[in-house]
Amino acid sequence: MSVLEATPPSFSADDVARIAADVAGVDGVATNLGSERDQTFLVEGRGSSVVVKISNLGEDAATLDLEAAAILHVAEVDPELPVARPLSVSDEPGLAAFRTTVRGPAGTHHLRLFERLHGREPAAPLPDRAVRDYAATHARLNLALRSFFHPAAGRGLLWDPAQAAKLRPLAAAVGDVERRALVTAVLDRFEENVAPRWRRLRAHVVHGDLNVDNVLFDDAGRITGIVDFGDVTHSAHVGDFAIGLASLMRGRPADVFRVARLAVDGYASRLPLEPLELDVLGDLVLARLAAIVVISAWRVARYPENAAYIQSWDDDSWRLLELFGELGGDRFARELGASPSPTATGELARRRARTVGALLTRLTYEEPVHALRAEGVWLVGADGRRLLDAYNNVPVVGHCHPRVSEAVVRQTRMLNTHARYLYEPLVELAERLLATMPAGSGLDAVMLVNSGSEANDLAWRLARGVTRNDGALVTHHAYHGLTAAVADLSPEEWPAGYEPPHVARVSPALDAAEVEAAAARRPLAATFLDAGLTSDGILPPPKAALQALVRATHEAGGLFVADEVQVGYGRSGGHLWAFAHLGVTPDVVTLGKPMGNGYPVAALVTRSELVERFAFAQRVFSTFGGNPVAARAALAVLDAIEDERLVAHAGRVGDELRARIAALTHPAVVDVRALGLLVGVQLESSERTNAVVESLRRGGVLVGRTGAHDDVLKIRPPLVFGDEHVELLVRALADALGDG
Ligand code: PMP
């Protein structure tokens, strides 16, 4: 016989007072506290009081031992959790000491005593802070229970959300047709959305009924007591949270979801929920509400004398179920944190155009990439299609690399603040970056900022301050960033006719005579160079030409700024930094893009001797620069590059990719150039390049375009690009180029 089908005990208060005196030596008055299927009394004597629990005849000793063991486990693991402990009532060894028996008219019942905890019933409704605290305490309880095991925990109690399917036959007890339909709809959703995924949810032994009526509070709304482990069972912890959450949502029609979300925050502050758990939370709350009304209807028919207790939560539960009926389950679930389904691509593009379209650059590709998620070298679109990402250098260690994601999430949960305070991540990152600079380079000072533009802007300020000159030298079609100062150094973005007088340009060949003339045009503050000449069309210079450029810069009195924003972080395949790979020593190095694998973080590295000559030294501050989360992301990137040996990998795969494309010997391919995994494919015309890029995109491969004439395919994948991806890309490229 199950505990829900057995007849509840029916001892009178006087009986219980006598029993308490006998068993516990507490002489006092017994008050019935109410119970679904057992009897629970508070016996208050002079000086001492105790809670007496008499089980129904269906209860077995193993389950009671499970309950006692769970409580004792919690008390040991997290002693601050105010759980009501069992009191020993016999000399039996082990857990048997916590139970005895008592004879009643219908048979012999188990009897237990629990310590009495003080506190009051919850204020209705609970204030916001109490809601958060409540949920945080619930999470703590689950954290304490997750190491607990007991063989009786697989008990299959109908109240456990895992058993929701068993409510179906009982739903007939709900008389009202419309209401019964609501219950059926909840169970249908459960069957469709939750049941198939149930066994992927984290599970352990849980309280099973941590609703607000099983908790006592102090005047400030803090929890002073957790009672009634009578439904303890092995189940999903998120299902257990849904039980508490459903109780918090009762009786607050005006702001039910707002409060529910505060509770989710409170729970997650101790025990973050996984995406799947958030996706099923709404349906678990609904399943709990359905369980309340169905079990109530079914039990009331059997035990009308306990109707008042059994039906206590019905009205509020129906109200919430009716809300579900109005809003629909998807909306109900979304309000509690389930991930929404993607917007239609066309609509999203229109909204983008309306809000940011005036200033922001246009979307790439005729058929825009509406990206939902990504992993490694793959992007997944809203249409569910996988796209091979051979274009994005920012996710240098692969999209959504777990090392980086975890570092960000963990640090976000611990501390994120600004650089006026002292914390480890910033200092560790600065040390790690300096350690990557070539020996003897003298590069010993770091400033952390948030974007490549900012790093270059600061480099430009530094160069002008130190040299007291204001001339700049850049390549013909360079890009160095978006601030007013460095936009002037970015001819790629200059509108027609725009030509700042202080900026001299040299053609990508870095012809010695041209360089010298350009450097001398005006007193030179700095030369900025992206060593891959990415924007100029991926034209990595020969070492000698680069070395001559550095020499000419110094002779003209300027600083040489190696802009590693694109080519840094191992892309060159020979060294973490392209300048080192190409054998030059810059005065300033700027880093960005891949530095945080997508998390905004950037840096400038230079010599402290130069900084000391800068009037603004020690006055430079960037609110977010080097913040703990950004620094942790950047450290994780460096770790992953090292552990996965990505620099050497990029060199090998880059060589292979270049050779395979060159071997296509297609008449439209004019030249194939590479610096490690930065590969440029010069085609016969910009029209051809555009057609190939669009065709590749339609075929599921993403590459870009670059060069002064937009006639170069830009292939710049995450460094985890492997041989199989080379194969896919080369085959797709051959297809896109066609026969002639
Ligand atoms: N320098 C180079 C070489 C770049 O490619 C870029 C970005 N494309 C920048 C600087 C500017 O970086 P951010 O967009 O992070 O400001």
Strand-strand pairing, 701-702 and 386-389: parallel
Domains and CATH numbers, the chain: 13-114 (3.30.200.20), 128-335 (3.90.1200.10), 353-396+644-740 (3.90.1150.10), 402-643 (3.40.640.10)
pLDDT in tens, 147-184: 999 999 998 899 999 999 999 999 999 999 999 999 99
- The share of the chain scoring above pLDDT 90, in percent, equals 91
* Residue 604 CA to ligand 1 centre (angstroms): 13
Measured distance CA(717)–CA(389) in Å, rounded: 6
- Report pLDDT for 2: 72
Q: Is 568 in the pocket of ligand 1 (CB under 6 A)?
A: no
Measured distance CA(542)–CA(550) in Å, rounded: 13
Evaluate whether 561 touches 457 at the Cβ level (below 8 Å): no
- Report pLDDT for 497: 95
What is the pTM (predicted TM-score) of this model? 0.93
Q: Is 528 in the pocket of ligand 1 (CB under 6 A)?
A: no
Q: At what angle do helices 275-302 and 237-248 cross, to 10 degrees?
A: 60
Is the predicted pLDDT of residue 1 greater than 60, yes or no? no
Measured distance CA(253)–CA(317) in Å, rounded: 11
Helix, strand, coil percentages in the chain from 3-state DSSP, rounded to 5: 45, 15, 40
* Residue 223 CA to ligand 1 centre (angstroms): 52
Probe target for ligand 1 pocket from 479, 493, 528, with the most ligand atoms within 8 Å of CB = 479
Neighbours of 270 (CB within 10 A): 15
pLDDT in tens, 24-77: 889 999 999 988 889 999 999 888 899 999 999 989 999 999 999 999 999 999
Q: Is 711 in the pocket of ligand 1 (CB under 6 A)?
A: no
Q: Is 530 in the pocket of ligand 1 (CB under 6 A)?
A: yes
Instruction: Let me know if 531 is exposed, middle or buried by CB neighbors in 10 A (0-12, 13-18, 19+).
Output: buried
- Report pLDDT for 62: 95
587-616: average pLDDT = 97
Evaluate whether 104 touches 10 at the Cβ level (below 8 Å): yes
674-690: average pLDDT = 98
Neighbours of 693 (CB within 10 A): 24
* Residue 455 CA to ligand 1 centre (angstroms): 9
- Report pLDDT for 311: 86
179-200: average pLDDT = 97
- Report pLDDT for 405: 98
* Residue 592 CA to ligand 1 centre (angstroms): 7
- Report pLDDT for 34: 86
Is the predicted pLDDT of residue 715 greater than 70, yes or no? yes
Nearest to 425 by CA among 588, 607, 646, 599: 599
Q: Give first-to-last CA distance, the chain, whole Å.
A: 81
pLDDT in tens, 277-311: 999 999 999 999 999 999 999 988 888 888 888 88
Probe target for ligand 1 pocket from 561, 565, 577, with the most ligand atoms within 8 Å of CB = 565
* Residue 650 CA to ligand 1 centre (angstroms): 21
Across the chain, mean pLDDT equals: 95
Nearest to 206 by CA among 276, 284, 268, 143: 143
**pLDDT: is 156 or 437 the higher one?**
437
Measured distance CA(16)–CA(10) in Å, rounded: 10
* Residue 307 CA to ligand 1 centre (angstroms): 70
* Residue 403 CA to ligand 1 centre (angstroms): 24
Neighbours of 733 (CB within 10 A): 24
